[in-house]
A and B are shown apart, each in its own frame.
Chain A
Amino acid sequence: MTHSTVTLLFSSLAPWLVVLAGLQALANRFGPKMRGGIRITLLGLVAAGLLAAPVRGISIAAWVRGVAAGFSIPATGLLALAVWQTEFRKVVFSKADWRAAWVFGALAGLVLYPLALGLTRFDPYVWGWHFSPLFAAVAALSALLLWRQNRFGFLLLLAVAAYQLRLLESANYWDYLLDPVYWAVSLLALAVRLARVVALSQPAASTPAPPGPPPNA
């Protein structure tokens, strides 16, 4: 198998998982109450068939690759985990693991994208071509997360392994760690969590008092 075939297959993995997760959600809502290996295999085949369907003579997978060729390893891993946890109802990632994934995606994206799009003369994307502070920071973060038994550290380990094997079309380390979709989802997930925290911390006085006699009655 040539390197370009490997990168081609790998670039189709995340879109396939997205379609699979969508089919899984539909099956959970409208399908028979069955879960497990047989169902996920069937749904996976349907997802692959959908991605192979042509639009204007070009497969949907090729259209997706045209717009977003490389999904990062954490994004692909989180998608796979979401599908797995839903199908087999086993918690692989704890709340703390998910929180680490969203915080990493949001902060790394805030560092990378505004500057990479030209906000200043400095472009942090250059840190991904060769050894740089990015590699040192990811090594330290991975070590910290793994030591604390946070499983997002394992996804970072997979990311650097994929970078060494050049599983993506890109030769830049950033593209193995982060992608714009992962960044956007991370920001959204943190915003939802923040909204929940704010809602829970609202003083009880703001809710109308239940009907009843006055306290001094």
Chain B
Amino acid sequence: MSRTGARWLLIAVAVALNVLPLLRKADQASCPSLAPESPAHAPLDAQSPFFTNELINPGSPRPMSHVASICELPDGRLAAAWYAGSREGATDVAICFAAQQPGASAWTRPRPLISPARASRDLHRAVRKVGNPVIFSDAAGNLSLLYVTITLGGWSGSSLNLTTSADAGLTWSPSRRLTLSPFFNLSELVRNRPLALSDGGTLVPIYHEFIGKFPELLWLGDRSHGLSAMKTRIAGGRSGFQPALAALGTNRALAFLRDCSARARISLARSEDSARTWSDPQALDLPNPDSGLSAVRLSDGRLLLAFNDSETGRDNLRLAISADDGRTWKRVATLEDEPRAEFSYPFLLQARDGKIHIVYTWKRQAIKHAAFNAAWLDAQARRPPG
């Protein structure tokens, strides 16, 4: 072959290899929409008000517990994950797991699931710290656990990893690293509840906190077809982070944001196209002391928000309800209120039986779980203020 011929061949190969993804994109033309958030929920229990609470890990040998999440197992039990150790960011912190015992609401003895040593082995790289686990289940009943690992530095040096379980959390697959940032894959964190997608995939609210602090979305594909993960952005700059998602329908979604500015207000971004594009975040008339919050759309269509009702501290934890898609809010219940104590990082879930569950950090010593029904929420809302 002549030199010119070889040159044309190389050019043809280069162009063909770059155009090949166009054919794959044509295959993926039908982008998934949001699965309705509570399609299979039983009607909300309209009977007497119901409320219980307990610590998931009372008397934990680890003095610090933080950042809990819960999900529902196929048999209706709950599973929870959080991190615990001597202090936040310490190298002895491990991700812990517990599930409700079969036929009972009591929790199994918590067990460490992911330590830095196990993460190092799974990921074939040095891991000094682990943190922020979010546990969730897919339509097939498989559990997934997203968590962050750090090799050097603090939380801004985090990367995201995924492990899965097909037996309700008894055994877990080796973790896989997700590459989501071009800059040393740094500063991708997770904290809040994912939403299901119409194609079997999962939409996970994640965030970035390095130079900016902004909300992002992780699109996990249906794992029966192999793992696929890609990331999009809700907003940039220092617009707020730790997004909490709520789906209003198959196309409409809300993202509530933690505020890292002096404004100290929860902000809200809206999407009308299945979470692809978002409005600029707008401040709500609800305070935020730079702390995590959680939101869920109840099966009766109302939105429920759990948050620290303060501009400066995390010494209370309140619930607010919106009946108009997040435009106006009414405080309905106080879960905790104790000066100088910390009650933080709530995580809300409505189970298939209609019960509403919340887990949160209790005084940084333990993880607390509370369960209630809509009748309890309505009864709380009718109580006179104070």
Q: Is the CB of A120 within 8 A of B236?
A: yes
B233 proximity list for chain A (CB < 8 A): 121-123, 126
Nearest first, the 3 A-B pairs at minimum CB distance are A118-B212, A66-B151, A139-B18
- For the complex with contacts A117-B210, A135-B21, 4 further pairs of A-B residues with Cβ separation under 8 Å are A63-B151, A122-B233, A131-B19, A147-B7
CB proximity of A123 to chain B, nearest CB, Å = 5
Most buried by A among B13, B125, B214, B233: B125
Q: Is the CB of B182 within 8 A of A172?
A: yes
Q: Is the CB of B237 within 8 A of A120?
A: yes
Given A62-B120, A131-B24, A171-B230: A117 in contact with B183 (beta carbons within 8 A): yes
Q: Is the CB of B10 within 8 A of A180?
A: no
Given A121-B235, A131-B25: A142 in contact with B182 (beta carbons within 8 A): no
Q: Is the CB of B14 within 8 A of A157?
A: yes
CB proximity of A39 to chain B, nearest CB, Å = 30
Q: Interface 1/0s, chain B 144-159, versus A by CB < 8 A?
A: 0000000110000000
- The answer for the CA separation of A157 and B229 in the assembled complex, in Å, is 25
B232 proximity list for chain A (CB < 8 A): 123, 126
Of the candidates A58, A120, A154, which one forms a contact with B10 in the assembled complex, judged by CB atoms under 8 Å apart? A154
B20 at the binding interface (Cβ < 8 Å): yes
Q: Which residue of A lies closest to B235 (CB)?
A: A121
Interface size on B, residues (CB 8 A): 45
**Interface set, chain B 156-190, CB cutoff 8 A to A:** 177, 179, 181-185
CB proximity of A196 to chain B, nearest CB, Å = 29
Q: Which residue of A lies closest to B234 (CB)?
A: A121
- The answer for the CA separation of A125 and B185 in the assembled complex, in Å, is 12
A149 proximity list for chain B (CB < 8 A): 7
CB proximity of A61 to chain B, nearest CB, Å = 9
- The answer for the CA separation of A173 and B213 in the assembled complex, in Å, is 24
Q: Is the CB of B17 within 8 A of A66?
A: no
- A: residues with CB less than 8 A from B are 8, 58, 62-63, 65-70, 112-113, 116-123, 125-126, 128-131, 135-136, 138-139, 142-143, 146-147, 149, 153-154, 156-157, 160-161, 163-164, 168-175, 178-180
**Interface set, chain B 1-24, CB cutoff 8 A to A:** 7, 10-11, 13-15, 17-22, 24
Q: Is the CB of A180 within 8 A of B13?
A: no
Of the candidates A65, A122, A135, which one forms a contact with B236 in the assembled complex, judged by CB atoms under 8 Å apart? A122
B193 at the binding interface (Cβ < 8 Å): no
CB proximity of B121 to chain A, nearest CB, Å = 10
- The answer for the CA separation of A79 and B349 in the assembled complex, in Å, is 51
- The answer for the CA separation of A73 and B152 in the assembled complex, in Å, is 25
Q: Is the CB of B179 within 8 A of A175?
A: yes
Of the candidates B152, B177, B236, which one forms a contact with A123 in the assembled complex, judged by CB atoms under 8 Å apart? B236
What would be 20 A-B contacts, judged by CB atoms less than 8 Å apart?
A: A58-B120, A69-B185, A117-B183, A121-B233, A126-B231, A128-B182, A131-B19, A131-B21, A135-B21, A139-B18, A142-B11, A142-B18, A143-B11, A146-B10, A153-B10, A171-B179, A172-B179, A178-B182, A179-B182, A180-B182
B90 at the binding interface (Cβ < 8 Å): no
B258 at the binding interface (Cβ < 8 Å): no
B20 proximity list for chain A (CB < 8 A): 164
Q: Interface 1/0s, chain B 193-220, versus A by CB < 8 A?
A: 0000000000000001011111000000
